[in-house]
Amino acid sequence: MSSSECNARTTATIAPPATDTSKFLVNIVGAVALTHACNDVIQATLPSIFPMLKASYALSYTQIGMIALVYQITASLLQPWVGLYTDKHPKPFLLPAGMGVTLLGIGLLAMAGSYPMLLLAAALVGVGSSTFHPEASRVARMASGGRFGTAQSAFQVGGNAGTAFGPLMAALLILPHGQHSVAWLMLIALLAIFVLSRISLWTVRHGHAHNKRHNRVTVEPLSRGRVILALSVVGVLLFAKFTYIASISNYYTFYLMQRFPVSLKEAQLCLFAFLAAVAVGTFIGGPVGDRIGRKAVVWISFLGVIPFALVLPHVGFFWTVALTLVIGVIFSSAFAALVVYAQEVVPGRTGMVSGIMFGTMFGVGGIAAAGLGKLADLYGIVSVYNACGFLPLLGLATLLMPQVKHRPD
């Protein structure tokens, strides 16, 4: 055997097997979804312990609002910039590093002895979240095998699960035992760091091949004006969706207790049911979008929810709960489709687009919650629900959404 043949055989023996970039990698997408659940259960726990912090430090509502604002700013405004930077300068290990910042924030929150330390802890948790979402969304797309909507839905469902379990975690582990018990959340962060480290190693080894393959699945480029139009329509749709979702997520228990003779516990169970419906709808929306197109899913999501949203403030308790579940499933199905649509409109900027989308989600949700609370003080919670019922009509802006056409492979 010649030396060249021997070298070729040796190289073939020790080289890592080529990864199949056309397959949907369940283990990678599942791992990303798991870490999204870990990240968001930590994020959701923070506002759940505000009553405890208010009592412990004799804080005013304004000071509580400042803690929430610091977290929202760091968790939303930094995301697009993180995504834009890593689009140009990939940093695979930014994922576990960002979760390390969250870990530090949790530890500081558990040990903080003053209001400024609480603000710093909230900022650190927000920074960790801002690095996680754009990078994790990028990995989900890498591992999608071309089924971008399905991967995005699976990723987002992990976050929905974490958001739903955050208040439960606070009620069972933290509120009964005081501020120091926040440290239990460090175990969740450590689990996420371990899993994210493994994901980062996979990205280093195989990420380039997957990116190269998916970059070949190109779309017909849109003009600059049509790109601006497309992103503007997405912005309007996100505003309508997350403002309406915020009205239920933040004020549903108050609404139920004011309109019907239900206890706080019963109202909270109804809220958990709504959050579960949101998770189901998010999971359904991605695969359906892969089959029938992103724009079709957006149409179904917004137009389908209009009659239920308009009727909701005028029915009894049973139908209020039932309609809320239907609204949760239908309305939440659009998010994965909107994320993937925006990524296709601005190809090659997956991190930046993901950062904008998730940053907008945090920002609109936080601002909407504050604004709806002010309106509820002025006009009553029932009036707010009557007004929010018209928000899905903004879905008619989908008429202006440019169609994205895929080139043949």
Q: Give the three-state DSSP class for 219.
A: strand
Selected residue with higher pLDDT from 255 and 268: 255
Residue type, 393: L
Residue 13 has pLDDT above 50, yes or no: no
Least confident of 11-25, 92-106, 273-287, 341-355: 11-25
- State the Cα–Cα distance between residues 348 and 327, nearest whole angstrom: 34
Least confident of 18-32, 46-60, 229-243, 289-303: 18-32
CATH topology classification for 23-217: Growth Hormone; Chain: A; (1.20.1250)
Give the pLDDT of residue 16.
40
pLDDT band at residue 405 using 50, 70 and 90 as cut-offs:
low
What is the end-to-end Cα distance of the chain in Å, rounded? 41
- State the Cα–Cα distance between residues 30 and 235, nearest whole angstrom: 28
Contacts 24+ apart (CB under 8 A), 291-297: 294/149, 294/337, 294/338, 294/340, 294/341, 294/344, 294/404, 295/337, 295/341, 295/398, 295/401, 295/403, 295/404, 297/149, 297/333, 297/334, 297/337
**Any idea which residue has 């912090």 for tokens?**
53
Residue type, 368: A
- Average pLDDT (52-68) is 78
Q: Give the three-state DSSP class for 406.
A: strand
pLDDT above 90 coverage of the chain, percent? 16
Neighbours of 29 (CB within 10 A): 25
Backbone angles phi, psi at 219, to 5 degrees: -120, 160
Give the pLDDT of residue 105.
93
Rounded to the nearest 5 percent, the helix, strand and coil shares of the chain are 85, 0, 15
Selected residue with higher pLDDT from 341 and 107: 107
**pLDDT tens-digit profile of 227-237?**
888 888 888 88
- State the Cα–Cα distance between residues 154 and 368, nearest whole angstrom: 26
Residue 363 has pLDDT above 80, yes or no: no
Residue type, 199: I
Q: What is the CATH number of domain 221-409?
A: 1.20.1250.20
**Domain boundaries, given as residue ranges, for the chain:** 23-217, 221-409
Residue 35 has pLDDT above 90, yes or no: yes
